[in-house]
Amino acid sequence: MADKLIVLADLGRMKAFRVTRDEMSKTPKLDVVGEFDNADSHVRLVDKVSDKAGRFPGTNGSGAMSNGENHNLKSESERRSIKQLSESINRLVEKEAPTLWYFAASKEINQKIVEELSSGVRSKLKKIVTADLTKVTKAELLTHF
């Protein structure tokens, strides 16, 4: 059972660390307890959809071809990534059962992920940092919490 967890997320990945204290050291130790990598978020939009099928003559008279309607693929992909991240965080926090946990994600997705969390997981959330800390070192990470 972990006493404290730090969870970091961006649309492509999630990392979780257990915070442990050693009596011989002043600084806490961070052990990786979970990682989630969303392979779908690393794929470019142009690789997901074809630019040939469903093309229609444009209406502007220039002879250019239209791609059809914009179906908000970027926003749908973001919504799915947020849902997957929040489900992964729910499972991780329930499995590790910390007394409290900390969360960091960029400003654009932070609140959206928190809203998707279960009420039990959200009740243990102690601090929210609005920054993408997924690529910072462990030593630098401790300064934010």
Q: What is the arithmetic mean of pLDDT over 87-112? A: 93
Task: Say if residues 14 and 36 touch (Cβ distance below 8 Å).
Answer: yes
Please say if the pLDDT value at position 1 is more than 50.
no
Please say if the pLDDT value at position 16 is more than 50.
yes
21-67 per-position pLDDT tens digit? 877 777 788 899 988 886 655 555 555 555 554 555 555 555 555 55
For residues 11 and 5, give the distance between their C-alpha atoms in angstroms, rounded to a whole number: 20
* Residues of the chain above pLDDT 70, percent: 75
For residues 134 and 105, give the distance between their C-alpha atoms in angstroms, rounded to a whole number: 8
Report all structural domains of the chain as residue ranges with CATH numbers, in order of start: 4-45+71-144 (3.30.420.60)
Please say if the pLDDT value at position 107 is more than 50.
yes
